[in-house]
Structure 1
Amino acid sequence: MTPREVLVLYYSRTGKVAQLARLAARGVEEVDGMRARLRSVPPVAAVTATAQPPVPDAGAPYVEAADLRECCGLLLGSPTRFGNMAAPLKHFIDSTGAEWASGVLAGKPAGVFTATNTMHGGQESTLLSMMLPLLHHGMLLVGLPYTEPVLTSTLSGGSPYGASHVGGASGGNPLSDDERTLARALGKRVATIAARLAEPPCA
C-alpha cells in the first residue's frame, strides 16, 4: 500500500521551528502507513529585488499547490512575530484561494506549532492565528490534550493549542526534552486521525 502523507509545512529563520517540524515529522512516521512530507516557504520582503530560486539552498523544498492536494493532514509551523504568524507563512496562505474554493483541505486534520524567545512572547496567540485560515479551509483542528502527561509538567514550551519552543532571551536554548516529546506527540496525533479518516486514500 502506498503510504499516506501528512504535509509538515513551516517557515523557520533561526532553525528552531525547523527542528520542531522534523520532530513532528518523526511523530507522523510512528503511525503505520503514514509518512511525513516536509516543505517550507520562501522569505518575503517589502521590495523584492530578485526572485527566490525554485529550490532553497538548505532545508526542506518549497511548498507547491500539489502538496496541499495530496496530503491527508497538515502540520503548520511558524515563529512568532508580535503574537502572530510570520509574514512568509501568511503570504503563502493568502495565495491558496483556489485551494479554498475547491475544498482540497476540507475535512483533513491539522495541527500547529511555533517558537518564541520568551515564555510570554505570544506563543498561544500565534498558534491561534495559524488556526484561523485552517478553519476557513474546512480543516479539523487537532491540539494536544492533557492526556499527554508532559503538558502539565513542562517548564518551557507546550500548549493545548499546539507544540512550541522557548528559545530564551538570546535564542540559544536548545529544545527541551518536554518540547521534543510534545512536538512528536502532535505529529503522531495528526497522523493517527488522518489515518482513521483517510478511507479511501487521500489523493
Structure 2
Amino acid sequence: MIQSSLTPSTITIIVLYHSRHGTTQQLARHIARGIESVEHCQASLRTVADINPDDAHPTADPIIEIKELKQCDGLAIGSPVWFGNMSAAMKHFWDQTTSLWISGDLIDKPACVFTSSSSPHGGQETTQQSMMLPLLHHGMMIMGLPYSEPNLHTSFKGGTPYGASSISKQGHSGLDKQVTELAFAQGQRLAKAALALSSINTSFP
C-alpha cells in the first residue's frame, strides 16, 4: 500500500488478517485497495503472530501492535475458516486486548470482517460472526455488505452479507473477479464511514 506521509486530514484504517495459505491475505489487499480509493484514507496492512512458531508463514506485512488499534480510525479483520471459527492466532490476539476494552479506545470506530474457506460449506458466516463478537464487546460499529452490491446476488465463489469472502482450493492462485470486487467495495464502504465519523468527531468535540 501507499506509504506516503500523512496530512492532518488523512485517516488510517487497519486491515488486520491471519492467513495460512495466502487467500485471506489477498482479500486483505483488495480491501486495502478499496480503502485507499477514498480520498484522505490510508490502509495499514497488518497480520497477527502465529501461536506456534513452526506454523509461521512469511509475510510482507508487519505484525500488529495493540497500541496501533488505539490510533486507527477504522478496522477490517480477516481470518480463514477454522472449524467454523476464526483462527487460534486471531483469537489469541483479541484475548490480549483487555486494556483497550477497559479504556474504551475502540468505541464507535467502524469495523468489518472477511474470511476464506476451501469449500462452499466450510463455515464462512459463522467464522465472520465469531470475529464480530470481540468487536461488539469493544463497542465498535460493525458493517457488512449490502445487497445493493450486484456481485452479492450472482457470485458462486464467495461473498456474504456479513462481509467479503472467498471459496478457493488450497494451492490455487488468484481470486475470482467478483470476489475481488466485493472486497474492494467493502473496503470503500468502510473508508467512507470512517471518514464521515472522523468529520463528525472533528466538528463536534
Give the TM-score normalised by structure 2.
0.90
Deviation per residue, 1:48-84 (Å, 9 max, x gap):
79xx8xxx85321010122101110000000000000
Residue 5 (str. 1) matches residue 6 (str. 2): no
User: Which residue identity is paired with 2:38?
Assistant: V
Contact 1:166 1:173 in 2 (8 A): no
Relative to its length, the structure with more helix (as a share) is: 2
Contact 1:6 1:72 in 2 (8 A): yes
Matched residues, number? 193
- Residues 128, 171 of structure 1: alpha-carbon distance in 2 compared, 3 angstrom cutoff: farther
Task: Detail structure 1 runs of 4+ shifted over 6 Å in the superposition.
Answer: none
SS of 2:45's equivalent in the other structure is strand
Root mean square deviation, CA, Å: 1.7
Deviation per residue, 1:142-180 (Å, 9 max, x gap):
000001111101111000000001013x45263100100
Contact 1:117 1:171 in 2 (8 A): no
Q: Map 1:28-177 to 2 at 5 A.
A: 28-45=35-52, 57-168=58-169, 170-172=170-172, 174-177=174-177
Q: Map 1:12-23 to 2 at 5 A.
A: 12-23=19-30
Distance 1:157 1:57 in 2: 25
SS of 1:61's equivalent in the other structure is coil
**Structure 1 residue 11 displacement after superposition:** 0.5
**Structure 1 residue 111 displacement after superposition:** 0.4
Give the TM-score normalised by structure 1.
0.91
User: Which residue identity is paired with 1:160?
Assistant: P
Unaligned runs of 5+ in 2: 1-6
Distance 1:58 1:132 in 2: 26
Unaligned runs of 5+ in 1: none
User: Which residue identity is paired with 2:155?
Assistant: T
Partner of 1:188: 188
Aligned identity (percent) is: 46
Residue 27 (str. 1) matches residue 28 (str. 2): no
User: Which residue identity is paired with 1:197?
Assistant: L
